[in-house]
Amino acid sequence: MTFRKRTVEDVDPRGKRVLVRVDFNVPLNDAGAVADDTRIRAALPTIRVLLKGGAAIGLVSHLGRPAGRDPKLSLAPIAKRLGELLGRAVPLLPDSVGPEMKKAVRALAPGGIVLLENVRFHPEEEKNDPAFARELAEGFDIYVNDAFGTAHRAHASTEGVAHVLPAYAGLLLKKELEALGGILEDPAKPFLAIIGGAKVSTKMDVLRSLVPRVDALAIGGGMANTFLLARGLSVGRSLAEPDRVTEARLVTDDVEGNGKELLLPVDVLAAPSADADGAAGAAVYEVDEVPAHLAIVDIGPRTIDRYAQVIRRAKTIFWNGPVGVFEVPAFASGTRQVARLLAESGAVTVVGGGESVQAVEEAGLADKMTHVSTGGGAALELIEGKTLPGVAAIPDR
């Protein structure tokens, strides 16, 4: 697709102070260190191009959902990891607004970089308070949004500031929109979508949006159980949403009525419980033979074989969501095999957020995918055809 928004490539940043919204909402381990730096590394191209161009940078991000100032959600570990990746110290300012922040921004020389403290320590951020947006912008000359993962949120640092300062898209934001927009606008055919995750209710809009575009739709994870219920099958004690059966039936009719292929599990791994304690009693069953006292926790080997046949034929594949209880290693086999099949497929492969991204990262297969998205909710809302406020606020070229 043609990217219409103006980007950092359209501005000379020399001598300018640039406020860059990044998405450093990354997991921390028990020791308080960064557990997965994927999102930090994804922002490096924009940071480097601005520094090389002679800009002074203030980075702004959130971490978690703090209720006021919370030392456990400080960006200190992120500043440390970013410094390691850049090979230079990245000072963490004590706040994202206020006199100290303004003084530090004024003191920034070309090529300088600082990280502002967690912007969500201020409730005005999520309220998209205009006065707070103006305060965030103070001392800066331009604004760059490189936080695709939060582009679906109309917050002060993602949308409000873009109305205060001249706004541009970062390289990551551009890359995400081109990759996801490309598979929607002009995918190479056959186009396969693999949609998993726990609940069909959270993905129904995505399914409806994809049905007219795809040639085949594979549904896995807990949401597949609702589709099995819609076919009159018993799913035992599995996670399912009986109140969504009618909607699942409508999607099924829409796919099959238009001559497209719908892949639901034909066999499953079922266990006494969906946690690690259930692993010892897990076994493979046909979908019409799941015992009433067991819960479906993964897809079975025959289902994987069906997936493999369709994946090998596909020219474009979009994958969002695990096809089993991925967080339990014993029930992660199906999800891992999907990752491997995509890596070997030769198709244009776009992995859209969440645990499917975790699966390809853990398997060491991320570099074998065409694009691995940094945004879960944002990727889904884009696929659904919704306007992302953080993108809409950036002027076109």
Residues catalogued as catalytic? 39, 199, 354, 377
Written as six digits, the tokens of 17 are 């102070």
385: left (phi over 0), alpha (psi -120 to 50) or beta: left
3-state secondary structure (DSSP) of residue 102: helix
Dihedral of CA atoms 269, 334, 25, 318 in degrees, nearest 10, equals -130
Which of 255, 274, 168 has the alpha carbon at shortest distance from 215?
255
How far is residue 37's CA from residue 60's CA, in Å, rounded to a whole number? 16
170 in helix, strand or coil? coil
How many alpha carbons fall within 13 Å on the CB side of residue 214?
30
- Residue 271 identity (one-letter amino acid): A
Complete DSSP assignment for 103-140: HHHHTPPTT-EEE---GGGSTTTTTT-HHHHHHHHTT-
The pair phi, psi for residue 297, each rounded to 5°, is -125, -10
Q: Which residues of 364-378 are buried (b: 16+ CB within 10 A; e: fewer)?
A: ebbebbebbbbbbbb
Q: What is the Cα–Cα distance from 317 to 55, expressed in whole angstroms? A: 38
Q: Pull the structure tokens for residue 144.
A: 């760059």
Q: How far is it, in rounded angstroms, from Cα 138 to Cα 146? A: 19
Q: Which residues contact 216 (CB under 8 A, 6 or more apart)?
A: 190, 191, 192, 193, 260, 261, 262, 263, 310, 314
- Asked if the bond preceding 329 is cis, omega within 30° of 0, the reply is no
User: How far is it, in rounded angstroms, from Cα 167 to Cα 19?
Assistant: 10
Kindly list the strands in the beta sheet with 216-219, ordered across the sheet, starting from the edge strand earlier in the chain. 261-263, 216-219, 191-195, 316-320, 348-351, 371-372
Distance, in Å, from the CA atom of 224 to the CA atom of 324, rounded to the nearest integer, reads 10
